Each structure stands twice: as structure tokens, then as C-alpha cells.
Amino acid sequence: MLNTLSKLKDSLEKRNKENVLRSLNPEKQGIDFYSNDYLGLAQNATFQEILLKEINQQPHLLKGATGSRLISGNSNFTMEVEAYIANKHKVESALLLPSGFVANVALFSAIPQRGDIVLMDEFIHRSVRDGLRLSNAKRSKFAHNDLDHLEKLLKEAKGNCFIAVESLYSMEGDFAPLEKLTELAERYNAFLIVDEAHAFGVFGYGLVAQKNLHKKVFATVVTYGKGMGMHGAAILGNQTMISYLVNFSSPVIYTTGSNDFHAMSIKKGYQFLENNSNLSQKLQENISEFRKINLPTLSDVQSPIQILPMRNISSAKKLQQHLENKGFLTFAAVAPTVKEGEERLRICLHSFNSKEEINQLTTIIKEFI
Ligand SMILES: Cc1ncc(COP(=O)(O)O)c(C=O)c1O
């Protein structure tokens, strides 16, 4: 016991020395340029009123699920909402999960089988990699958004081949070339899986839906903790794939279901996003405002995530602290969240940021770098 604890302590001390120790800190006060609440739904009073009204009218929505969805924990309402979601995304089936992390682990641990291979973008989210650690499939990384590299790996691949990408990369703020990826997948009979965590809501129901690629993508993961400001996720795809998950995916089977309030709030979230498309327009205006000053960002002109490369951990952290002292909350992404030597400042833009706030932020950054 003592030996184990001292090993844990050593690892923490090593992190501390390297200036990358993580800790859970009290909530910060300041102007939000770091949350994933891109459209402000997490704090939207009108949306909260809608949810409250539903709870008041139907308090049974708060009843605990009481068991696994395969035993006592399923509900007709959750299944209705899953059918509603599938219909919105024009796919056969949708499966609700408590978070995007769980959805990716559920999908990637179960679907790729022994003898299969998963080719993943080098910057794919940790949840995909952790899911694959529970799978018997082989895995290999291709250079970020590098279609030539991917094609080379596809040519060499044996067995069923899956390609795993994010439509909008969370630590780069750039997009996957989805159309070209679907062409490659088609040419090599590979199954494309797209994580839409950061695109959902910001770009309608996500880029797969917006680009009408749903028939060419094997599975899509949309999450409800970012553009929708809540939590949860859905795996979207064909009925056989979803049935397979219900039969073989541990994170679906061996866990208590969510209550109906979760499903209800997601359904109301879809409706709210549909009725408030001005929010994503406002977000795009704010992104353009941010880009006016020409900071050396690596990110796409339409991305709500704007990344500024930093020289090292210390300069990333110093800039974050400097901004925080002035009342602006951003995030210094350092190893192991990003590769060592690729430290960066991550700025998230929102529909609710004012032009003045954005201009103040960019001016402070420009003066600092
Ligand atoms: C690309 C990507 N996928 C999945 C997730 C996990 O989603 P959730 O926060 O809903 O667990 C995240 C979260 O940061 C993400 O960035």
C-alpha cells in the first residue's frame, strides 16, 4: 500500500516539477473564452424555463431509471427520443449515452473486431483511443488530416478497416476533409466514423448532416455537452450496428440508464437550436471579429475554437494567467493534453461574447506575444 502510494506521489511530483500538474480548482470568475458552451445554452434563461416547465408538468421525468436499460432501466420515452434523434439526422437508429466519452468508448471497444484495423487521425480524442484499448482490433495513426498518408495505410490494411476522425478538432480548431474522407472510405471499402463533438449545434446537426454525408458515414457521434450546453451523446448509424452495441458493448449494458429528464432535455435542446439559428450566426460573426486582428492562429476561419501556438509550457501558462488577471478566461493546453513542444493557448468563442470583449482580448494577446 505504502509502496503504491509513494509511486503515485512520485508521478504527481514529476508532473508538478514539469509545471503540468492538474488539479480541480474552484470556479473562476471572468469573461468566458474557454468553455464549450459555444451557443450559450448552458446559461440561457429561456431554455432553462422550457426545461423547468416540463419538470413541473411531468415530475416523473426525474424518476431514476432503476437499472440497466436491458433490465428495468429502459423507458418508452427515451426510445421515442432516440427515434426522434435518428429522424433528425436521417439515420436508421440512434443510441443515447451519458457522455461523448462513454459513447466513443462504447463504440470503439465493441465494433472493430480481432483481425480488423482502425486508422485514426493522430489528434483523435482520448475517448476513441481509450475505447480502442479495450478492443482486439489493430490500430494505426495517420498524420493529421493527411489523406495521402491515410491512403497509404488503407492500401496496406488487411481485414475490415475503420477510419476514425473528428469533424472539428478540439485542440486544433480545424476541420476534417469529410467529403474526401468519404471518397477514400468508399474506394477502399472502409467504414468511416466521425466524432462531431464540437461541430454539433455550431453547424446545424453537425457537418455530416450539413454536407449530406450521412449515407456515406458508418457511424457518427454527436455530443450534447458543448453546442447544446448540457451533457450526453448519441451514436448514430444503422440498426444492425446499434443492435450490436446493445448486445455486446459493456458501457451500454452494464450501467444504470439515464432518467427521462435527460432524454427530454435533449429533445427540447434540438427544438431550441432549430428555433434559435440566430445563435450560430452570431457565433460566426464573433469568430470573424476575433480573426480581424490577424493573430497567428492555426485554426480555420469558421471554427469556434481558435488556437495560438506557444513557444513552451511556461509561455502558454503565462499568457493564460496574464489574461485571467485581466478578467479573460482561456485555456493553456500543455502536455499530455497536446504533444510536448506543441503547447498552445485555446480560445473558445461564443455567441454571447460581445465585440468589445473580443477586441479587448485580442489586443491584450497582441501586446503580449
Ligand atoms: C472530440 C471529442 N470527442 C468526445 C469528447 C467527449 O465528450 P463529452 O464531454 O460529452 O464526454 C470530447 C470532449 O471534450 C471531444 O472533444
Domain coordinates in residue numbering, the chain: 28-43+278-368, 58-275
Sites in the chain below the pLDDT cut of 50: none
Question: How close is the Cα of 100 to the center of ligand 1, in Å?
Answer: 5
Sign of the CA dihedral with 142 first, then 146, 149, and 154 last: positive
The answer to whether the CB of 224 is under 6 A from ligand 1 is no
The answer to whether the CB of 225 is under 6 A from ligand 1 is yes
Contact indicator for 181, 192 with CB cutoff of 8 Å: yes
Question: How close is the Cα of 271 to the center of ligand 1, in Å?
Answer: 22
To test ligand 1's pocket by mutation, which of 170, 196, 258, 348 has the most ligand atoms within 8 angstroms of CB? 170
- How far is Cα 64 from Cα 54, in angstroms, rounded to an integer? 16
Return the pLDDT at 9: 96
The answer to whether the CB of 127 is under 6 A from ligand 1 is yes
- How far is Cα 296 from Cα 282, in angstroms, rounded to an integer? 23
CATH of 58-275, picked from 3.40.640.10, 3.60.21.10, 3.40.50.1820, 2.60.40.10, is: 3.40.640.10
pLDDT digits over 116-138, tens only? 999 999 999 999 999 999 999 99
Cell triple for 77? 420515452
The answer to whether the CB of 40 is under 6 A from ligand 1 is no
Contact indicator for 222, 228 with CB cutoff of 8 Å: no
Distances (CA, A) of 332 to 104, 131, 180, 200: 25, 26, 32, 24
Return the pLDDT at 128: 98
**Residues 278-289 as b or e (16 or more Cβ within 10 Å = b):** ebbebbbebbeb
Return the pLDDT at 339: 86
Question: How close is the Cα of 232 to the center of ligand 1, in Å?
Answer: 10
Contact indicator for 307, 315 with CB cutoff of 8 Å: no
Q: Do domains 28-43+278-368 and 58-275 have the same CATH topology?
A: no
pLDDT digits over 298-334, tens only? 899 999 999 999 999 899 999 999 999 999 999 999 9
Give Dmax over CA atoms of the chain in angstroms.
Answer: 60
CATH of 28-43+278-368, picked from 3.40.50.2000, 3.90.1150.10, 3.40.50.300, 3.30.390.50, is: 3.90.1150.10
The answer to whether the CB of 220 is under 6 A from ligand 1 is no
DSSP3 helix / strand / coil % (the chain, rounded to 5): 45, 15, 40
Question: How close is the Cα of 173 to the center of ligand 1, in Å?
Answer: 14
Question: How close is the Cα of 37 to the center of ligand 1, in Å?
Answer: 13
The answer to whether the CB of 99 is under 6 A from ligand 1 is yes
Angle at 140 between CA 135 and CA 146, to 5 degrees: 135
Protein residue closest via CA to atom 10 of ligand 1: 100
Return the pLDDT at 19: 86
The answer to whether the CB of 32 is under 6 A from ligand 1 is no
One-letter amino acid for residue 199 of the chain:
A
One-letter amino acid for residue 325 of the chain:
N
Question: How close is the Cα of 89 to the center of ligand 1, in Å?
Answer: 19
Return the pLDDT at 73: 97
* 68 bridge partner residues: 256
